Structure 1
Amino acid sequence: MINQMNQNDHTPNKFSNAMKELQIGKLLRKSNITKACGISAYEVFQFLLLLVFQGKNLFRFLNSKHKDQTVSKNTYYRFLNETSYNWSRFLLLLAVKVTTAFHSLTRPERVKVLVLDDSVIKRNRGKAVELLATCLRPCGA
């Protein structure tokens, strides 16, 4: 799907290899993330995740000239809004799988730490954001 858009980009191949190595399909099934018919849940998940890693937007992709390479937009939205999918279990299983993979790459005497930080993006805009305003006080007060 997306890999046909950028012939020089090796992201889809490396991405596919990483998903196979982490056994994402098995983790999806263990988390009750399955589909009854049509395109598999694994393919939908892979497509949506690849969109994120390539910096693309689902809405714009579905309105582009490549829209005939994908399934209906309702398929993606139903997949994302399905309430029976256990996303927290999936994230837990994925974290265990990633931690196990990194564990074998480090020496036993090293301290093993995994830090996930999403604070690199400064998002100081919006009306309803609490404590957003900067308080300036006069020096004499």
Structure 2
Amino acid sequence: MAEPAILLWLLTIAVTDACTRRIPNAMVWPGFCAVAVVAVAQPAVGLAAAAAATPYLLTFTVGWCGGGDVKLAFACGGLALRWDTAMIMVACASLVALMIALVSIGRRGSTGGHAHAPALVGALIVVSDLA
């Protein structure tokens, strides 16, 4: 019963990021906190969340993504439920983001940065059973 609400939440974040290139804390913290609470009872969820968030945290430290991406990756990793599924999700999202960046090279008006939430949410939907 929660899947439609989670899917709506994720799609709202993806659209917001695509339109504004920002993920507001008010949108992402509820999912982040929910995953953190579930991880106390189900350590596999915490491991999946940490596995997904770690690459984003590393890229955040060098300025290649924003803090919202890190928090969203943590929440999406927890929703993936398993660390290996979370890593496949991150790899798929990164591949999609790379393809978008390559296609937009040289386009007039391209600013170089792209919203990553749509790729991450799409990858989660593909690797999980949220759809």
Structure ranking higher in helix proportion:
2
TM more than 0.5: no
Q: Of the two structures, which has the highest relative contact order with CA contacts closer than 8 Å and spacing of 6 or more? A: 2
The TM-score, its normalising length taken from structure 2, stands at 0.28
